[in-house]
Each structure stands twice: as C-alpha cells, then as structure tokens.
Chains A and B, each alone.
Chain A
Amino acid sequence: MNKQQLALIKKDVRGITSNKRLFSVLLIIPLFMAVVLPTIFLLTITFTPLESGDLQDLLAILPVDLPNSDLRVALTGALLNKIVPLFFLMIPIMSASVMAASSFVGEKEKRTLETLLYCPLSLKQIYRAKILASFALSMFVSLLSFAAMLIVVEAELWITMRNWFLPAIEWLLIILLVAPALSLIAITLIVRGSAKAQTVEESQQRSVFLILPILMLIVGQFMGVLLLNAWILLGLGAAFAAIAVVLVRTSAGGYTYEKILK
C-alpha cells in the first residue's frame, strides 16, 4: 500500500463520515443490533415469569446448563452467545455494503470516477485501496459495536441480576473470522456489480443476498433446527473466508478502463 493509495483510503472514509445520510445508516444498524436488541432480550428474560410457557420453550431449544446456575443467568448467557452473534453479523455486512456502494458506485454516479482513473495509480491499485477502505471501516464499526454492546450488556446485567457476562469462544470466531470474511464478500459483490449498477441504492440491494442466509440461520436457531456452536461457526467462517479470498483475488482482474466507464 503506497502513499497515494493511503490518500485515496482517507478520502473514501471521510466521504462517508461527512455524508449525514450514509453516516446515520452506519450508526443506526449497529446501535440496533448491538445495543437495543440485546437489551430487549435481557429485559424480557428479567421480567418474564420463569413459569411462563415461552421461556420454557426457549429453554428447551437452547443448551443451558441448568443445575449449576440461576436459570435467568444461564438463559441470558445462551441468548448472548448463540442468538445475538447472528444478529451482530448484520453489522459488518451492512457497513461494508454501504461503504463499498458509496465508494465504487457513488464515484461513478457523481462522475468523479473518471477523474480518479486519470491519476498515475493502476486500476488494480485503485481497486485494492477502495476495497481496503471499505473493509477497514466495516471492521472498525464492528469492533466499536462489540465494545458498545459489552459495556451496555455488562451494565444491564449488573443492575438486573448482579452478574457478569463472559463472551464465549463464538464471539471470538465472529469478530476475527466470520465478520471480516462477510465484509469482504459484501464488498466484492458490490464491486462486481458496480460496473453495471448506475445508482448507489441499486448497488446496496445486492447485500440482501448475504443477509438472507444469516436470517435463515437466526430462524434456525429459534426453531431449534440448527444450533450454533463453535465448530459450526468455525466451519462457516472458514468457508466464507475461502470465498472472500477468491472474490478479492479476482475482483480487480478482467476490468479495463473501458468497461468501468461504460
């Protein structure tokens, strides 16, 4: 990565943080997934009577070690380690998509891409820098969301149950493997579509293809069809990472100035 590419990355990041509409999207989704949703879960568990049928149903699905701990605490841990991580994955997907769409298609839409292409960087260097800018922002937002979630959840747990939450190994896999891989997949999908897409909105819709499987995983969790554990997550993460590597490798190939500017 040379100085020119760094300048391009800085410009791209500033472009999104200075745009109120895009920045609010980057703020609202993490806020909902990492703060509001876990809070709703926690409050539900705290204020639902233990004998209620719903809670018993949930207990039946989730692998909770009943004997050694308070039921509410155990349930909380299971929700935070099995269900919330899947919702959390929307954050990297959405932030990567928003950023990549603005970075690639937005430049085309605003007719600034051609100016960029006249600089002495190769097409590959420009693409690499832009992919990295989207990736860095997506990971930054994800990490920040995780930190925010931890702070809020720990505070709420302490207040309601005088207890702490210890993130399980699943979270480590989510943060270090699945989120980066999904970010890259989302970015490269948008880059691939960017030659054809004419507007940012059109391009962002592509990320729906990534969100759907995640939604199915979430539904699967609640239905008890497929229970998330570290091994499944590791497998999924490895598969996503492999796809991401292939997509990134091939993302800048096959593109010519002529194709991009069409």
Chain B
Amino acid sequence: MKAVTADNLSKTYESGKRALDDVSLSLNQGEIFGFLGPNGSGKTTTVKLLNGMLTPSGGECSVFGVNPAVSPETVHGMSGVITEHAQMYDNLTGFQNLTFFASLFGIDAGEAAQRARSLLEQIDLAEAGNRKLATYSTGMRQRLSLARAMIHRPRILFLDEPTSGLDPESARQANGMIRDLARQDGTTVFLCTHQLRYAEEICTYYGLVDSGTLLASGDIESLRAGLSSGLTVTLRTDRPPVGVEHGKLPDGRYSVQVASAEEIPRLVRRIVEAGIKLYHVSAQRPTLEEIYFALIEQKSTGGAA
C-alpha cells in the first residue's frame, strides 16, 4: 500500500486564492519525502488536505488507503503532525504535555509515561522535561513537538517547516533526530521545508512545488536526469579551452556544461590534444537548489512558449 497518494488534488480557498493546483503524488512507505518550495507555495495546504483539516476543491488524496476528507480521525490515529500553529500547553511541563497527548491517542498512563521519558531522552530534554513549557526556547519547543508527534508511534509524520526559527546548529540537530527516529520505527516522513540544503541531507524522495503546482517529483537521480543541463565541469588551464563552449569563472577557471559524465573524458582529450596545459578538472552534479531553480526557469519559459 502507498503511504500517501494525491490525484489531481486542488484547493481553492473561499477568498478565491488557488493554493494547490492539480497535484498528483505517490509516496512509498518508509520514504523521507521532502516537499520543497518557498513559503506560500501550497505545502501547508497539502498537509492540511492530507489530514482532513481542509476539504479538497478538486481531486482526492489518501493516507495509507484512508481518505482524510471522509474519516479524518482514522488518519489522525496513524499520523503525527507538526505545524507552526500546532503548539502545546505553556502551563504544563514537557513531560505532562507528552503524557496528555498520549492519553488523547488512547495510550494508557503507564505506557505513556514510559514512552514520554524515553522520547525526552532522545531529544535531549530529559532534564527540562520537568519544567513548564513557558520556560522553553524555540528550539526546545520544536524538539518537544517532534516527540509529541511521535508519541503514538505514528506510521507517518507530517512535518511542516520543523526547523523554521532554529539556528543552523539546532536545525541540523533536529534533522538528525527526524532521520534517526524515522529509521528506528520505519516511519514514513512527509517533510515540508523551504530550506533545500537541510532537506538534501535527510530526504530520500522529493517533490518540488511552486505556487501550487508540482514541478517535479522523484529521487535526486531522477530529478537530475530530468534536467536538460547535466553536469558542470570546472577546468583550470593555462589558456581558454578552444573548440568548446565555455564560461569564465571569477577565479580564472573555466566552466563547461556537459550532458552526462560520459562526455568528460572526451572533453579532456580534446583539450589536451589542443596542447593546452590542464591542471585540474572537477565535475559538479547539480544540487537540489540548482535543480529547483532550473525547473522554475523551465516552467516560466515553457509557460511563455
């Protein structure tokens, strides 16, 4: 069974804003799915649709075969959700918050306490667990939210910007926790973020979204393969390479675009045979960020044509 499916999913708000336009997705169990795009591109809307907080204006979706628009409670029982607006109680301690939410999921008191304690330990809040939430920093709150979302051992985690408001170090730490926790229980993760670099560190599958439309989805290899521009080869030579189209970098090196790695030996041979001194060759595969911006560009030129 697929963990998440979306078929031509669309959402238009009452205000007339089209937040999501015809998005189709299919996600296997156990993937860490990065749903990536800038703020306002429809990520939160998608999470809310998948949890039945919103009803789709068109198309449909499912979480482990359950339609959230029909039985949201069933989906909630299987999923753990972190969003910016889903906070916890300031007047309770970290531990009390976790055991309260555990009881909402029908976990009995003894097991809830045990689970809360072990999660607090894993997120480095064992000490702070007995303090009221009002004294927590943003980073501690975010980590506690992660524990809260995991308290009932969900089959899928929906994380909407789990690292927003965190400094780079805490963000990296939180990402590590998401990865470890997910791996430990085999949990599927649906991670929404605009921080593409963090996503690249932990995700196994991607969906790139912009103003409500899905630009592409797949693992990093298939995303790269889908791009017309393949690799960027950087060369350090004593003079400009002749016979190949090239750009000049600020540090004096030259860059050449090739479609695939197979072209690199040919390129090198041609340069050496032309009598040019070649000091250094390196090839960069496009990063997620480069892929994203290339796709945006494709979309806008495609739209013009």
Chain B contacts with A in 52-107, Cβ cutoff 8 A:
52-55, 72-74, 76-77, 79, 81, 83, 85-92, 100-101, 103-106
Q: A261 vs B83: C-alpha distance in the bound complex, in angstroms?
A: 13
Task: Report yes or no: B103 in contact with A115, Cβ–Cβ below 8 A.
Answer: no
* Shortest beta-carbon distance from A12 to chain B in Å: 10
Contact of A4 among B51, B87, B92, B105 (CB under 8 A): B105
Contact of B91 with A19 in the complex, beta carbons under 8 Å: yes
Which residue of chain B is the closest to A8 with respect to CB atoms? B104
Chain B residue with Cβ nearest A118: B81
- A1-31 with Cβ < 8 A to chain B: 3-4, 7-8, 11, 15, 18-19
Question: Is the Cβ of A18 less than 8 Å from the Cβ of B91?
Answer: yes
- Distance of A261 Cα from B81 Cα, bound (Å): 15
Q: Quick check: is B194 within 8 A (CB to CB) of the other chain?
A: no
6 of the cross-chain contacts (CB-CB < 8 Å) are A4-B106, A7-B104, A112-B89, A114-B53, A115-B101, A115-B148
Distance, CA A62 to CA B77, complexed state (A): 61
Q: A257-B52, A257-B53, A261-B53 are in contact. Are A122 and B73 (CB under 8 A)?
A: yes
Fill in one digit per residue for A111-132: 1 if any B CB lies within 8 Å of its CB, else 0: 1101111111110000000000
Given known pairs A8-B104, A18-B91, A115-B88, the reply for A120 and B83 (CB within 8 Å) is no
Q: Which of B73, B86, B91 contacts A115 (CB 8 A)?
A: B86
B54 interface neighbour in A3, A4, A115, A258, Cβ under 8 Å: A258
Cα(A15)–Cα(B132), bound, Å: 13
Taken together as a complex, chains A and B put the C-alpha atoms of A110 and B90 apart, in Å, by: 9
Cross-chain contact A3 with B85 (CB below 8 angstroms) = no
Docked pose: A11 CA to B100 CA in angstroms: 8
Confirm or deny: A56 has a beta carbon within 8 angstroms of a beta carbon on chain B: no
In the complex the two chains form, what is the Cα distance from A114 to B88 in whole Å? 10
> How many Å from the CB of A256 to the closest CB on chain B?
7
**Minimum C-beta distance from A111 to chain B (A):** 4
The residue of chain A having its C-beta at the shortest distance from the C-beta of B52 within the complex is A257
B91 & A114 in contact (Cβ 8 Å cutoff) = no
Question: Interface on A for B, CB 8 Å cutoff?
Answer: 3-4, 7-8, 11, 15, 18-19, 110-112, 114-122, 256-258, 261
Count, A-B residue pairs, CB within 8 A? 69
B55 touches A111 (CB 8 A): no
Complex: how many Å from CA A111 to CA B90? 11
- Whether A118 and B54, one on each chain, are in contact in the complex, defined by CB atoms closer than 8 angstroms, is no
Cβ 8 A contact of A120, one of B74, B85, B87:
B74
- Residues A121 and B55 in contact, CB atoms below 8 Å apart: no
Complex CA gap A258/B12 in Å reads: 13
Instruction: Determine whether the beta carbon of A112 is less than 8 Å from that of B105.
Output: no
Report the minimal beta-carbon distance from B11 to chain A, rounded to whole angstroms.
10
Closest A residue by C-beta to B80: A118
Name which residue of chain A comes closest to B79, CB basis.
A118
Q: Are B91 and A15 neighbours in the complex by a CB distance under 8 Å?
A: yes
Given contacts A4-B105, A110-B87, contact A256 B100 (CB under 8 A): no
Q: Which residues of B contact A261 (CB under 8 A)?
A: 53, 85
A118, B51: Cβ atoms under 8 Å?
Answer: yes
Does B55 lie within 8 Å of A256, measured CB to CB?
yes
Q: Mark B32-66, 1 if CB is under 8 A from A, else 0.
A: 00000000000000000001111100000000000
Residue from the set B55, B81, B86, B104 with the largest chain A CB neighbour count within 10 Å: B104
Taken together as a complex, chains A and B put the C-alpha atoms of A119 and B110 apart, in Å, by: 19
> Is the CB–CB distance between A114 and B106 below 8 Å?
no
| Docked complex Cα distance between A191 and B148 (Å) | 27
B83→A7 contact, CB < 8 A? no
Is A115 touching B100 in the complex (CB atoms < 8 A)? no
Chain B residues with CB under 8 A of A3: 103, 106
Query: Across the interface, do B91 and A111 meet the contact criterion of CB distance under 8 Å?
Result: no
B76 contacts A120, CB within 8 Å? yes
| Contact of B148 with A258 in the complex, beta carbons under 8 Å | no
Given A256-B55, A257-B54, A261-B53, A118 contacting B86 (CB threshold 8 A): yes
Is B72 within 8 A of A111, CB to CB? no
What residue in chain B is nearest A108 (Cβ atoms)?
B85
* Contact, CB under 8 Å: B53 / A258: yes
Residues of B close to A115: CB separation below 8 A? 86-88, 101, 148
